[in-house]
Structure 1
Amino acid sequence: MLTLTKGRYTARFAETPADVTAAQGLRHLCFRGRPGLDADGFDPICRHVLVEEAGGALVCCFRLLPLNSGCEIGRSYSAQYYDLAALEAFDKPMVEMGRFCMHPDRHDPDILRIAWGALTRYVDDEGIGMLFGCSSFKGTRADPYLDAFAKLRAGHLAPSRWWPRVKAPQVFRFARRLAQREPDAKRAALTMPPLLRTYLMMGGWVSDHAVVDGDLDTLHVFTGLEIGAIPAARARALRMVAG
């Protein structure tokens, strides 16, 4: 059973229906800006990870959907929005991380750090070969994020063998639209979502387009990370947190 404590925070798997309900409540607050429950048909088949402050307050959560290999990727959340046929050839265990969110009143970087530490322990324990999911930009207008998208186009597009293709009806084809744009590095860094920034630091890659999700009021890109490609120094740092 996953339990990881660092300083003021503990990461653990949800153990009861009340734990899952708490995660759904935090998700609704983060994604929709008001109290409620964000629930869908993927919740019953996922493992939910909670990050709590000392005293039990929930400050972060995400869910994990394990797959035996790429041949099962069609049942992932991401497959609703992206054509992932190329990834069906991936022959190692995979895990989809989804619905990642931090309480809007909490900005401590240690929260993200322990979340990644817990994820690292899970990946190592389960022999995962690839981590993937949807990384979200707040809002459905691309204009505030053009430099971030240009940076993704310039250096972080998926390898051709795993290329995610268009499936959703509304997309922003940033690789095509921003082919001539030189990204402003500072603006790109300021507008890149923290979760996606962490993926990229570890060697992650993205789709060449963003999906417009009107329901959750986000733009998101498919994001993949081959565990074996993580730089050695970064892997050691993550395992120090996970240990």
Structure 2
Amino acid sequence: MLSLRKGRYRVRFAETEADLEAAQSLRYLAFRAGSADTPQVGRDKDAYDTACAHVLVEEVKTEQLVCCFRLMHLSDGAEITQSYSAQYYELSALTSFDGPMVEMGRFCIHPAYNDPDILRVAWGAMTAYVDREGVEMLFGCSSFHGVEAKEYYDAFALLRDRHIAPKRWLPRVKAPSVFRFASRLRRKPDLKLAQAKMPPLLRTYLLMGGWVSDHAVVDRDLNTLHVFTGLEIKAIPPARARLLRGVAG
């Protein structure tokens, strides 16, 4: 079981069909609602939901669901073709990874909430799970809102310069529509703009030593650009690990 309470928030696994439906409704609000031709209420669901554990972050006082994500546990890299990410990235390099892996997916925060403690508590819960289960790598798709790459040129240039995956793990192109930022961009990044445009989840991955694919997938279904993101647990800086375990404890 996963159970964590910090300040205004508590974290737990979804236990009922109603819990899962609440997560799917929040995902819909975060990923699909907003455009004039899209219903404002619905559920975002897919075939991977049944293979995952779903994590809920709730405000204690109101019981409002403020954040959710799902976890797919893999025994090692040989199972990575079962992952959601494998639809979009050619991941054969990672099949040789020898250790437990977890795909973290559909991470979203309620658009009405702008409290950085939500992300902090979510990562604290992930840390507790990783330690308990002996996970050696986290991975997933980190999303930029919208499909216009030019809005994120500085962020992509920073990823190109500092955060491309090691060659031994580098994902290859599989999706039909991609933006090859590592080879196409020639600009020097404006660091302030790059950080401002970087999604919070991805920013946290990078602070912990995470890395990304050399291209972004254009996902018109969810209206996002996303990069494959990996994090080897042993690469997390000790000071950062202590902070995370402080929240997890």
Does the TM-score normalized on the shorter chain lie above 0.5? yes
Cα RMSD of the aligned pairs, angstroms, is: 0.5
Q: In the TM superposition, what are the counterparts of 1:147-186 in structure 2 within 5 Å?
A: 147-178=154-185, 180-186=186-192
Alignment correspondent of 2:151: 144
1:121 to 100, 124, 128: 128
Which AA in structure 2 matches 1:101? C
Q: Residue deviations 1:71-91, cap 9 Å, x none? A: 000000000000000000000
Alpha-carbon shift at residue 181 of structure 1 (Å): 1.3
SS at match of 1:5: strand
Q: Give the alignment's TM-score, normalised by structure 1.
A: 0.99
State how far apart, in whole Å, the 2-side matches of 1:144 and 1:211 are: 15
2: CA distance between counterparts of 1:17 and 1:122?
22
Q: Deviations over 1:164-186 (max 9, x none)?
A: 000000000000011x2110001
Pair 1:231-2:219 in alignment: no
1:12 maps onto 2:8 in alignment: no
Kindly state the Cα deviation for residue 212 of structure 1 after the two structures are TM-superposed. 0.2
Equivalent residue for 2:52, pick from 46, 53, 72: 46
Residue ranges of structure 2 left out of the alignment (5+ in a row): 34-39
Which of 210, 217, 222 aligns to 1:216? It is 222
SS in structure 2 of the partner of residue 42 of structure 1: helix
Structure 2 Cα separation of the partners of residues 80 and 162 of structure 1: 17
Moved over 2 A (4+): none
Question: Does 2:63 align with 1:56?
Answer: yes
> Structure 1: which amino acid aligns with 2:22?
A
CA deviation map 1:91-131 (0-9, x unaligned) = 00000000000000000000000000000000000000000
Q: Secondary structure at the match of 1:133?
A: strand
Trace 1:15-34 onto structure 2 (pairs within 5 A). Answer: 15-33=15-33, 34=40
In structure 1, stretches of 5+ residues that fail to align are none
Aligned pair count reads: 242
**Residue 94 of structure 2 is aligned with which of 62, 87, 98?**
87
Q: Among the aligned pairs, what percent are the same residue?
A: 69
